[in-house]
């Protein structure tokens, strides 16, 4: 997966390595995105410089500017790549159980919520950078954050398609999903903002208890 969601990309070995130019550039790109996330998580977006990113990525300034216009451009690319990786992982949860009649919409929601909270817990740099520091990175970054929330809303609404209960009837399901994701996002962002990453997985049980209660009452 992408930054914050797997093994960090490693610097290429010195000397001959047998990699093509494209492979070298992909490696450099991945290291720059990971370095941006780590630097911003540690220093904050406002205090992160291109030099901070270069130091962590182990690439030259010329390499950086061959791939990105400036710090903001690199941050936006890092944000996009991370959200796409997380969204793809959540979508796979839906696809895996799509044809299983024994898996309920609440089961799917539980699995997606568990995955989301686990990723934020084990990848604090990802969590802090793209849930908290994103708001210091300017309007384009904030718009990307809004778009990522919309994608999560779509996934939750899709998990409930054709059903009633937690998200109500079909015409209102997306709005209900939006309200649910908004509540989860607020709670998660507050914990990440104060650095309480260990409390993130513990949100799963009470949130699902509330979801089951709402579903039992008809939404």
Q: What residue ranges do the domains of the chain occupy?
A: 21-67, 72-216
Q: Does pLDDT of 74 surpass 60?
A: yes
Q: Which fold has domain 21-67?
A: Arc Repressor Mutant, subunit A (1.10.10)
From first CA to last CA, the distance across the chain in angstroms is 35
Q: What is the pTM of this model?
A: 0.84
- pLDDT tens-digit series, residues 160-182: 765 555 665 566 778 888 888 99
> Left (φ > 0), alpha (ψ -120 to 50) or beta: where does 122 sit?
alpha
Helices (H), 123-172: 124-131, 139-159
Task: Determine the pLDDT at residue 155.
Answer: 86
CA–CA dist 25, 194 (Å, integer): 36
Please classify residue 33 by burial: count the beta carbons closer than 10 Å to its beta carbon, then call 0-12 exposed, 13-18 middle and 19+ buried: buried
- pLDDT tens-digit series, residues 89-129: 999 988 887 778 888 888 888 999 999 999 999 999 999 99
- 28 against 12, higher pLDDT: 28
CA–CA dist 108, 154 (Å, integer): 13
CA–CA dist 201, 203 (Å, integer): 5
78 pLDDT band, cuts 50/70/90, is very high
Task: Determine the pLDDT at residue 31.
Answer: 95
- 6 against 144, higher pLDDT: 144
CA–CA dist 79, 167 (Å, integer): 29
Q: Which CATH architecture has domain 72-216?
A: Orthogonal Bundle (1.10)
């Amino acid at each position: 997966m992408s930054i914050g969601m797997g093994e960090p990309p490693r610097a290429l070995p010195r000397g001959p390595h047998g990699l093509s130019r494209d492979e070298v550039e992909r490696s450099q790109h991945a290291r720059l995105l990971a370095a941006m996330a780590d630097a911003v998580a540690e220093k904050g977006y406002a205090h992160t410089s291109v030099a901070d990113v270069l130091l962590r990525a182990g690439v030259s300034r010329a390499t950086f500017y061959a791939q990105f216009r400036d710090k903001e451009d690199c941050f936006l690319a890092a944000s996009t790549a991370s959200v796409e990786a997380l969204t793809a992982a959540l979508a796979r949860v839906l696809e895996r159980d799509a044809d299983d009649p024994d898996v309920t919409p609440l089961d799917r929601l539980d699995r997606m919520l568990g995955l989301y909270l686990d990723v934020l817990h084990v990848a604090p740099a990802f969590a802090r950078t793209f849930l908290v520091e994103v708001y210091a990175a300017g309007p384009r970054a904030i718009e990307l954050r809004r778009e990522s929330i919309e994608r999560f809303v779509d996934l939750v609404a899709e998990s409930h398609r054709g059903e009633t209960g937690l998200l109500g009837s079909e015409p209102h399901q997306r709005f209900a999903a939006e309200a649910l994701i908004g509540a989860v996002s607020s709670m998660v962002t507050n914990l990440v903002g104060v650095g309480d990453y260990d409390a993130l997985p513990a949100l799963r049980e009470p949130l699902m208890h509330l979801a089951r209660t709402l579903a039992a009452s008809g939404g």
